[in-house]
Structure 1
Amino acid sequence: MLAFVGIAMILCFMYLIMTKKLNAVVALIFIPVVFALMAYFLGFYFDSLSHIEMSELGEMMLNGIKKLAPTGIMLLFAILYFAIMIDTGLFDPSVKWILKKVKGDPLRVTLGTVFLTLIVSLDGDGSTTYMICVAAMLPLYRRLGMSPLIMAGLMMMASGIMNLTPWGGPTARAASALKVDPSAIFVPMILPMLVSIIWLFFVAYMYGRFERKRLGVIELDISHADHIQISQDPSANRANLRWFNGLLTFILMVSLILGILPLPILFMLALCIALIVNYRDLELQKSLIAKHSGSALAVVSIIFAAGIFTGILSGTGMVTAMSEQLINIIPKSMGPYLAPITAILSMPLTFFMSNDAFYYGVLPILSEAATQYGITPVEMARASIVGQPVHLLSPLVPSTYLLCGLAAIEFADHQKFTLKWATLTCLVMLCSALILGVFPFYSTL
């Protein structure tokens, strides 16, 4: 009966957010509370629910929030840090260099598209990435007569790979759903991400060769590159401190990989240093933080709301009951393969449902079942983020509509063109992760 209540809660949650009856924050808080109360009253009639006490409900929710607090703090300060770095103009020279190097060669244009998107995607905001990259690259594609479908496909796949950073969203959701450290998920995935990036450059190379053969190389006036910048606030630009900001970001990334300090502390310290050195004016500091607080709040509020959901799901014993039922359904011969199975399932499941529904509704059940076969939650979390390049093609992702609108292409055409390459990118990441031992192909327990 407890498993039935848990499944009903997850299905209700998924339905309400996929049909946009409720937003994710409201659904993550309200739905589990309703079903926890339902389980409490049903406990008078079913012995399996008798252990649920009303007095424990608040403690369950608070425990869930406490466990996710470090992840929420990390996301808040990471988003603000990279937004401030864009404001300072740290990435402007990279954009100008790319535009000057690509000139009128379609091959250089496709490679430059991937390189530019990888850099800009560091802030973890897909919408911002597309606005900046399309503004910089689309004039070149139009002038050369290249297909904007190629541009949109390469940008989306690059964004999908970089979206696996701890502040990008999916990794934070997986970490919060399974209560593991985001850095423990991300750091081992760096090499599979690099392999996927190399693969993506190969795809860009193939299309660049094709377009070069079709169109040839055209001499262009690339003086417009001097006027391109991704920092939108002139008063916040700190070109004279670019060397310092670059060094600070490099040290931050190295510290993150080495695990010198916890991720939230690293980003908190880095943001403080960046603000002190770049902006002595306190009013300017406040205005910049306020400008970027909307995008940060949208992500962080979901993480803390997820604490209610996961706290009740685990505190009531629903996830344990559901996993026991799942184990009974899954053939024992398939149990040891749950990690790669989860990685493969993450492609269609995150396409047909939102990230919130998958990571907070489906992943905890799969992970709890996998523990019976010796597969750890952090390994399942790594496997679950493999499908993100395909996820971005979902009609449930608003930023993809923005990309198609900016590139002036049809959403269906974009899906048709990109789906096969996005799927192959996920499979490249999956194979490299298995070869590198990021998560097991088969658990021997």
Structure 2
Amino acid sequence: DLGPMMLKGVETIAPTAVMVTFAILYFGILIDAGMFDPLVNKMVKLAKGDPLKITIATAVLSLMVGLDGDGTITYLIVVTAFLPIYERLGMNKLILACLPAMAMGIMNLLPWGGPTARLMTIFKYDAMELLQPLIPSIVIGALYIIGLGVFFGLKERKRLGIIDIEPGSYQEIAAASLEMSSENLRRPKLFWFNVVITLLLVITLLTNTLPLPALFMIGFVIVSIANYPKLKDQKERIEAHAGNILTVTSLIFAGGIFAGILEGTKMVDAIASTLVNITPDFLGPQLPSIVALTSMPFTFLMANDPYYFGIIPIIAETATGFGLTKLEIAQASLLGQPLHLLSPLVGSVYVLIGLVGIDFRDHIKFSTKYAVGTSLVMIITAIIFGVLSL
């Protein structure tokens, strides 16, 4: 009986896998084409020798580049851009590790990010249905990250002061930040074209003009043909991002099979009914808030897969016994992601500390309190806007 259950699970998550595939390709093409290069250049030049401007620019760039949902790429671009100037001014490099990690904790909630894609796989929710109520939390969380940049910058400015750097140094730093992007891949003449296409994509995404998988398929076709008209170049760009795609989509398909078996055998229903019977009545209505708070330690101590594929479906089914919806539990489970991005179980964190040149222990010690703060701000915002009930 497992065969039909597995296939049914794969069928239900196919749209999510398509969306993730083309979202990664879309943003990968734009990064290859250098759409973010002017932003990196501008921020390095504007920051000059003022630690406050530098930390704010670090936070803003991390949030902007984090739109692709890939922590590794975000860390590569942001750290490569700002590490020379942090070292030149003698600024605390732990800040350069903290701000991008916090930003990715928020950007990871986007539909093509890991946890949201898993929840869409399990519960078959549309991306906007799942995330639209959380937009205030995401926006306030992003503002909190920028506020952290201000806080760090004021501390560093007090410690170091504002340091004059020779004008030529800015060009050197900016040039160094772009070394990772091959010159023959960049398309500076198509910068505004790529920006306009991306804005149109965001608008159509928010207005639900077309299903998300279709939007990213169309967007990818447009930017790939416009930026790399030769078929050979398009093939090379797809191959360059194939590793990221395979890592995520293979997991999504496996998760779909897992969810299909759980649903088909009614295992989740049985476990949930047992939990409903043993959970005190007064705790039942508080499950969304409890899930939001416990998602921080859970996702730090375990990988996203066992948490979202194993624990959340059971809690969601349990919540229905108390008159709550599975959607509330799914949304609550996302709010602990800022702490998850510091977990030793997340591969990209090793890329981050390797690029910055710091110890993992120091990174955790410095950033944990700010990650918890980011999650708490997002949880409080969700409660204020009625996403989480008390």
> Shorter-chain TM-score category?
over 0.9
1:212-271 per-position Cα deviation (integer Å, ceiling 9, x unaligned) = 011000011312244233772322221111111100000101111111111101100111
Q: Given residue 155 of structure 1, which amino acid in structure 2 is its aligned partner?
A: P
- Specify the alignment match of 1:135 in structure 2: 80
**Identity, % of aligned positions:** 48
**Paired residue secondary structure (1:236):** coil
SS in structure 2 at match of 1:90? coil
- Residue 162 in 1 paired to residue 110 in 2? no
The DSSP-based 3-state class of the residue aligned with 1:397 is coil
Letter in 2 for 1:341: I
1:417-438 Cα distance to aligned partner (Å, 9 max, x none): 111110010000011112112x
Bigger shift: residues 218-227 or 290-299: 218-227
TM-score (norm 2): 0.96
Deviation of the 1:190 alpha carbon: 2.0
Aligned equivalents of 2:298 and 2:126: distance in 1?
Answer: 24
For the residues of structure 2 that align with 1:308 and 1:64, how far apart are their CA atoms? 5
SS in 1 for 2:178: coil
2:314 corresponding residue in structure 1: 365
Correspondence list, 1:206-217, <5 A = 206-217=151-162
**2:209 pairs with 1:260:** yes
1:346 aligns with 2:291: no
The two structures, once aligned, show a CA RMSD in angstroms of 1.3
Larger radius of gyration: 1
Aligned to 2:381: 432
Return 5+ residue gaps in structure 1 as ranges.
1-55
Note the C-alpha offset of 1:354.
0.2
Measure the CA separation in 1 of the matches of 2:8 and 2:90. Answer: 57
Matched, 1:118 2:66: no
User: Residues 24-173 of structure 1 correspond to what in structure 2 (within 5 A)?
Assistant: 56-173=1-118
CA distance in 2, matches of 1:276, 1:146: 42
Equivalent residue number for residue 308 of structure 1: 257
Task: Determine if contact 1:85/1:245 at 8 Å carries over to the other structure.
Answer: yes
Distance 2:87 2:324 in 1: 50
| Amino acid paired to 1:125 | D
AA partner of residue 374 (structure 1): G
Cα deviation 1:102-161 (Å, max 9, x = unaligned): 111010111011011111112211112112211111111111111111111111101111
Query: How many Å apart are 1:378 and its aligned residue?
Result: 2.2
1:250 has 2:173 as partner = no
Question: Is the 8 Å Cα contact of residues 92 and 231 (structure 1) preserved in structure 2?
Answer: no
User: Contact 1:393–1:400 at 8 Å: present in 2 too?
Assistant: yes
| Separation in structure 1 between the aligned mates of residue 74 and residue 24 of structure 2, nearest angstrom | 13
Match in the other structure for 2:171: 223
Deviations 1:367-415 (A, max 9, x none): 1111122322222211111001000111111111221121111111111
Rounded Cα–Cα distance in structure 2 between residues aligned with 1:226 and 1:408: 20
In structure 1, distance between residues paired with 2:304 and 2:160: 40
Q: Work out whether residues 115 and 304 of structure 2, in 8 Å CA contact, stay in contact via their aligned partners in 1.
A: yes
Q: Is the 1:161–1:388 Cα contact (8 Å) retained in structure 2? A: yes
- Residue identity matched to 1:126: G
Task: Say whether residues 1:385 and 2:325 are aligned partners.
Answer: no
Aligned partner letter, 2:112: W
Per-residue CA deviations over 1:296-354 (Å, capped at 9, x if unaligned) read 11101100111110011111010000101111222111111111111111100001100
SS in structure 2 opposite 1:222? helix
Aligned to 1:14: none
In the TM superposition, what are the counterparts of 1:174-193 in structure 2 within 5 Å?
Answer: 174-193=119-138
Number of equivalent positions: 386
Partner amino acid for 2:4? E
Cα deviations by residue, 1:45-103 (Å, 9 ceiling, x for unpaired): xxxxxxxxxxx321111111111111111000000000001111111111101100111
The question of whether the paired residues in 1 share the 8 Å contact of 2:81 and 2:174 is answered with: no
- Partner Cα separation in structure 2 for residue 230 and residue 430 of structure 1: 39
Partner residue of 1:329? 278
| Local SS of the residue matching 2:184 | helix
* TM-score scaled by length of structure 1: 0.85
